[in-house]
Structure 1
């Protein structure tokens, strides 16, 4: 599949061809916040973050270049290269899209290669800051899953339904990403990835329902190391250890993501909302609810906006694992802390109230300023970087200021 992706990129190289279209987008700006405990990052794939009194120019900045090449009226190739502060510097990490698109009829579209992972309302343009009102997408929804693409294929069918348009899409493939909690990235791959997307829209509104599921290929390296350390814990202190440990193994485990979203444009007001549920069949992937509700008002060259976003997940009490933590000798206590951190990695619990202003400098450029007020429950800061590895961090309230310039060309 990666060879195919490379070939798709190469098809767009004849820059002088009249059927080649070159476009791009970007967001350049800064972010500051006032937390004493946490580091800011744009999503859980980032291995580092900015802390109090640091001006962050990377987290919400992004640059993208897209090449579209038409072979004929039915067949085209799309390549998109994106820089968004990735941990690893490699061509594969910068290729966000690379696919062949075939339209045998006006209703059917087939894409093969690397396509955006269709989980969200803003799937096709989540990186294009100019396309949405806020200074950054709500991290409570867009930051909790690190996967951004599918190496595989999708098929979509669009049909008029009265005055409406209905689109159904199915996709299958695999995806890889990095994620981090303790300031170092770890690679994770999901295969047997498949999904269904349904959309119904009119001129001024859109409703989407999406469902996807996948299977993990390998375990996380740090979890393998953690499991190896359990050999030092005697059975007398953890009687059901051998029965519990398989719950920590991600190999062949399955997870799913289901969401419903919508947008309503009633000029000058725009409403947007998105709500989702994450489910997993192992203890490592906690069930999670998340979502946001956004309101924007536009006049002349100005737009003011606000949203409320949240994540909610139940934490697992490691006492339920059978491990007698109170009887552990001091030298084994870090293992219990590491177990608690691993199990509850996805137990994100926070909410954010945001307000902001957008000014259209011209039809391709916008200035944005946004203030976020985030409340984090104790040990609920999955979306942030924790300074103290495996340590419990109290609840926190964080104010964040973001300002940037978004553009397309």
Structure 2
């Protein structure tokens, strides 16, 4: 079940695509020894954050503080072979998202571009798809004023990094520039789940993605985007995914429980060979008046073929006001699970509390913890200061209200699900490009 922490996983595949990109560059160089232009650039963010709670929030944060959540460093090489053909390779160094320890190097971009004219662009290879307003530049913190893009929206899609094909068409109109992007590709992911009894676990899956985005950019730099996205996800080892658990009334001593394993008596766990996420997004970045901006995005994730997944709606609204080099801002964001997923997670928690056999209670509790459900609202007050045209210093206070529960919180071992609590987060970061 894809979660906000579904991320590119295998180093072998990333290395292969880097090698293919390098081979492509070499082939073009031999085909046309005259390289018109090349550019090497870099970017990075060093970010520290701390909460007022002892348990983990957004994987890495607690009252101990951490640099892991927001820190990322990258380099990008762009090569122009002729007016029509070019290639891009980008790699980032960041805390690993395929486990909770160490660093990982990821090829976020590794593609060849063909531009037959000014209106068409075709890309083949590893790329980041245009889903949300800042999806493509989300690692480059210097390009936006928020300390970080709201996880309540930007974590909804299973994956925005795919290896495949994209086609873009642009139209110049009196109202502004229209662009339509269509794409198809695939990705290997690691889906994270935190259990109070079993600790952190990662499920390796393969996802196939298709989608399209329509964008309008006005002369005053206002931007509007609407997108449709479908991801079909299956386990990489070919085994089925759990889709539904039947309720069983077995009498004493088992009592009532949910059959979360075929080892328990019952009709059997219902499974699916794959699950589907259909995501619809709308976003707008508006220049309201001189030095005032209003930014908002909403996303709805419809999850198909399972009652144990992440069927969610997320939205945020941000108001920013630039005062010379300083840009204060306020953000309100919300993420909530809909339908059967939250009901099942809550029912499994109740079943675990009612079970008198410890192993049965553990099975119910672990199954409930594995369902990625969310009920949270966040208020953020922040400040961005442009040190130079190429660097920004940011600070932010965020208060998050957890409702029934949230998969962004790792509930402590041996305790109850974290619910109806407030989490205060203080963050500071330095972002740069060169």
TM-score between both structures, scaled by the size of structure 1? 0.85
Does structure 2 conserve the Cα–Cα contact (< 8 Å) formed by 1:354 and 1:372? yes
* 2:204 corresponds to: 187
Deviates more, 1:277-286 or 1:16-25: 16-25
Residue 267 (str. 1) matches residue 285 (str. 2):
no
Write out aligned runs for 1:93-112 (5 A): 94-112=106-124
* 2:251 corresponds to: none
* 1:331 corresponds to: 359
Q: What's the offset of the Cα at 1:179?
A: 2.5
* 1:214 corresponds to: 231
* 2:6 corresponds to: none
- 2: CA distance, partners of 1:112 / 1:207: 26
Q: What's the offset of the Cα at 1:57?
A: 1.3
* 1:20 corresponds to: 38
Q: 2:90 aligns with which of 80, 84, 88?
A: 80
Q: What's the offset of the Cα at 1:408?
A: 0.4
Which deviations, in whole Å up to 9, do the C-alpha atoms of 1:262-295 show, x marking residues without a partner? 1012321011100000011111223210011001
Q: What's the offset of the Cα at 1:11?
A: 5.1
Write out aligned runs for 1:53-132 (5 A): 54-88=64-98, 94-132=106-144
Q: What's the offset of the Cα at 1:318?
A: 6.3
More strand as a share of residues: 2
* 1:197 corresponds to: 213
Q: What's the offset of the Cα at 1:320?
A: 7.5
Does structure 2 conserve the Cα–Cα contact (< 8 Å) formed by 1:279 and 1:285? no
Which deviations, in whole Å up to 9, do the C-alpha atoms of 1:159-204 show, x marking residues without a partner? 122232111111001112223122333322212x100100112122
Q: 1:234 aligns with which of 239, 256, 265?
A: 265
Does structure 1 conserve the Cα–Cα contact (< 8 Å) formed by 2:240 and 2:274? no
Does structure 2 conserve the Cα–Cα contact (< 8 Å) formed by 1:152 and 1:174? yes
- Cα 1:207–1:256 change in 2 (3 A) is same
* 1:45 corresponds to: none
Which deviations, in whole Å up to 9, do the C-alpha atoms of 1:301-349 show, x marking residues without a partner? 111111101101131236989x98756744312122222223xx22111
- 2: CA distance, partners of 1:370 / 1:222: 42
- 1: CA distance, partners of 2:375 / 2:22: 40
Q: 2:344 aligns with which of 313, 317, 334?
A: 317
Q: What's the offset of the Cα at 1:387?
A: 2.7
Does structure 2 conserve the Cα–Cα contact (< 8 Å) formed by 1:211 and 1:257? yes
SS at match of 1:340: helix
Q: 2:309 aligns with which of 264, 267, 285?
A: 285
- Cα 1:396–1:9 change in 2 (3 A) is farther
- 2: CA distance, partners of 1:293 / 1:159: 29
Residue 156 (str. 1) matches residue 172 (str. 2):
no
SS at match of 1:334: helix
Q: What's the offset of the Cα at 1:107?
A: 0.3
Does structure 2 conserve the Cα–Cα contact (< 8 Å) formed by 1:165 and 1:201? yes
- 1: CA distance, partners of 2:152 / 2:22: 33
TM-score between both structures, scaled by the size of structure 2? 0.81
Does structure 2 conserve the Cα–Cα contact (< 8 Å) formed by 1:12 and 1:20? no
- Cα 1:147–1:84 change in 2 (3 A) is farther
Q: RMSD of the alignment, in Å?
A: 3.0
- Cα 1:67–1:116 change in 2 (3 A) is same
- 1: CA distance, partners of 2:426 / 2:412: 21
**Matched length:** 385
Which deviations, in whole Å up to 9, do the C-alpha atoms of 1:88-130 show, x marking residues without a partner? 5999951011111110011000000011033211111011101
Deviates more, 1:20-29 or 1:85-94: 85-94
